Amino acid sequence: MSYSLIRPLLFALDAERAHGLTLGLIDTLHSFGFLRAFNHQTEPSPVTVMGIEFPNPVGLAAGLDKNGEHIDALAELGFGFLEIGTVTPRPQPGNPKPRLFRLPEAEGIINRMGFNNGGVDALIENVQRAQYKGVLGINIGKNADTPIDKATDDYLIGLEKVYEYASYVTVNISSPNTKNLRQLQQADELAHLLDALKAKQLALANRDGRYVPLALKIAPDLDAHQVEDIAERLINSGIDAVIATNTTLARTGVEHLKHGKEAGGLSGAPVRSKSTHVIRDLTEALHGKVPIIGAGGILAGEHAVEKIRAGASLVQLYSGLIYRGPQLVADSIEAIAALHD
């Protein structure tokens, strides 16, 4: 079945409503065994990153399944790994609606969701119910009403709660939709946060007899000096990976479009070059000491290859799925595999 037949119907609806209906449809197709019609089989292409063996290097980015309610269905689409969240210690509704906007002419999306989620305990219950045994990342954030000087407390709560259930844990300090959150990317605050998280990680590893890697997700709106500072903190703290990047606050090339001036983070095609540029800067600054997961603007297999060539070891998809559908997963896997042939 072709996604191109369904897309016009979904795009006729409000973006957030369409998102919910799509996930519901995926669950229904999964429950009746029909979802495999959208899964374009690819040859295995395993890769080891962070000490984890991934069946293939193409994953689902956080944000699509915030509460981990659709894990088994999404796993059937051929991803090498899934990342769920962002989840916060306590449930929160996020920002007022409307808060999700398509920019079809630019193949972009603006969101100001604001970490809407059911809280970490609800996410854990969903993970426990899932049958999925593959690589599962859990993305953690801070509650909107937690003061920024207490943000570390929220991340430590999230890490401790999800540790047992995650293959790796992502620390999201780069969403533009939680007030002052990106302040945590600044040198001294970042060092404090990473040191606290690393200490907690090692304590949990000792407690459980299992080491769960930590990844840091950063913004695309960083200059070369800021990237160098972050790279130095990543190396010094022993963080296991970095995800580059989140959404951008820039509006270059979309200002004139309907919804182009909406507040929030811009993703999809307009962020691709910014994301890849940050990956290149990170590659130069990290000297191979910390692996990079590339995300941002992948709408074709060649875009996934672009991230790998820039220095990423894995890639993640989200907005590209909205515009291209599940075929993008196989296209990206095959393009990366061809690069290594």
The sign of the torsion formed by the CA atoms of 250, 256, 257, 260 equals: positive
Q: Taking Cα atoms as reference points, which of 166, 64, 137 lies closest to residue 314? A: 137
Q: Taking Cα atoms as reference points, which of 250, 321, 322, 300 lies closest to residue 79? A: 321
Give residue for tokens 């930590």.
214
Q: Taking Cα atoms as reference points, which of 137, 131, 202 lies closest to residue 166? A: 137
- Residue 12, Cβ neighbours under 10 Å: how many? 8
Residue stretches of the annotated binding site: 62-66, 86, 111-115, 139, 172, 177, 217, 245-247, 268, 297, 318-319
Judge whether 275 counts as a catalytic residue.
Answer: no
Catalytic residue among 45, 174, 175, 267: 175
Instruction: Give the torsion through C-alpha atoms of 265, 178, 167, 324, to 10 deg.
Output: -20
Q: Which helix H or strand E contains 328, and what residues bound it?
A: helix 327-340
Characterize the bridge pairing of strands 292-295 and 241-244. Answer: parallel
CA 75 – CA 133 distance, rounded (Å): 10
Q: Taking Cα atoms as reference points, which of 92, 133, 130, 134 lies closest to residue 113? A: 92
Alpha-carbon separation of residue 3 from 9, 22, 128, 201 (angstroms): 10, 11, 31, 41
Residue 258 corresponds to which tokens in the numbers above? 């309907």
Residue stretches of the annotated binding site for substrate: 66, 111-115, 172, 177, 246-247
Q: Which helix H or strand E contains 238, and what residues bound it?
A: none
Give residue for tokens 């659709």.
70
Residue-wise DSSP of 10-49: HHTS-HHHHHHHHHHHHHHHHHTT-GGGG--------EEE
Active site amino acids: 175
